[in-house]
Amino acid sequence: MRLSRQRRMVLDLLWSEASHMSARDIFEKLNARGRSIGHTSVYQNLEALQSAGVIECLDRANGRLYGYRSDPHSHLTCLDSGRIEDIDVKLPADLLERIETVTGYRIESYTLQLNGRRSGN
């Protein structure tokens, strides 16, 4: 996909933050860094990047969040702060085989949604 200057700007921010952010977060961070870009442009660029499969999009109760990774990965949500971390979880082969036997599907990829709190706080 062709990267316009604005699209590049949005992508660079996502990569440098390595987090999941709303269009508003991204708009505010870019403008705080002195990049002048409108909220609508941020949103349109995010949607274009997501439909091209360059970034991920999570639909959450409080809105859409965008992340820099597009490969299959799992998410760990902090129940205190709401922060979502990307994690790589590999399920044991025998568990996947059991799921395949039960469902009759061949599993090609998976993402897990885990929720928790930091221990020791």
49 interacts with Zn ion by CB under 5 A: no
Q: Provide the minimum distance between the beta carbon of 102 and Zn ion in the complex, in angstroms, as a whole number.
A: 27
Nearer to Zn ion, 40 or 114 (CB): 114
86 binds Zn ion (CB under 5 A): yes
For residues 39 and 73, which CB has a smaller minimum distance to Zn ion in the complex?
Answer: 73
- Selected from 10, 67, 79, 116, the binder of Zn ion by CB under 5 A is 67
CA distance to 28, 40, 70, 99, per residue, from 23 (Å): 9, 9, 17, 37
The whole-angstrom separation of Cα 36 and Cα 8 is 13
Q: Which stretch binds Zn ion (CB under 5 A): 29-37, 39-47, 82-90, 99-107?
A: 82-90
Torsion of CA 48, 44, 30, 8, to 10 degrees: 30
Q: In angstroms, rounded to a whole number, what is the distance separating the alpha carbons of residues 93 and 66?
A: 30
In the complex, which residues of this chain contact Zn ion (CB under 5 A)? 67, 86
